[in-house]
Amino acid sequence: MRIRYFSSTDTLFIGFRDAPVAETRDLDENTMLDVDSKGNICAITVEHASERADILQFSYEQVAA
């Protein structure tokens, strides 16, 4: 997984897998979902991220099954 925030454009990119993107779906006017040919999620892009997500408060936790 790869998470990138581009402050110059206020864009948040969350990449889930490195696979060729077959389709980009607009979830709303500022959120795009990239999927591969099997419909698996590759990435999510969020425009105006500072207004729509609490990007300054990021944490990651892996929980054992």
Structure tokens at 41: 């999620």
- Which run of H or E residues covers position 42? strand 41-47
Closest CA to 21 of 43, 46, 45: 43
pTM listed for this prediction: 0.84
Tens-digit pLDDT profile for the chain (65 aa)?
999 999 999 999 999 999 999 999 999 999 999 999 999 999 999 999 989 888 777 787 888 87
pLDDT score at 58: 77
Domain contains 18? yes
Domain contains 10? yes
The count of residues in the chain is 65
Domain holding 12, by residue range, is: 2-52
Domain count, the chain: 1
pLDDT score at 8: 95
pLDDT score at 14: 95
Domain contains 59? no
Domain contains 15? yes
How far is 41 from 58, CA to CA, in rounded Å? 21
How far is 47 from 5, CA to CA, in rounded Å? 10
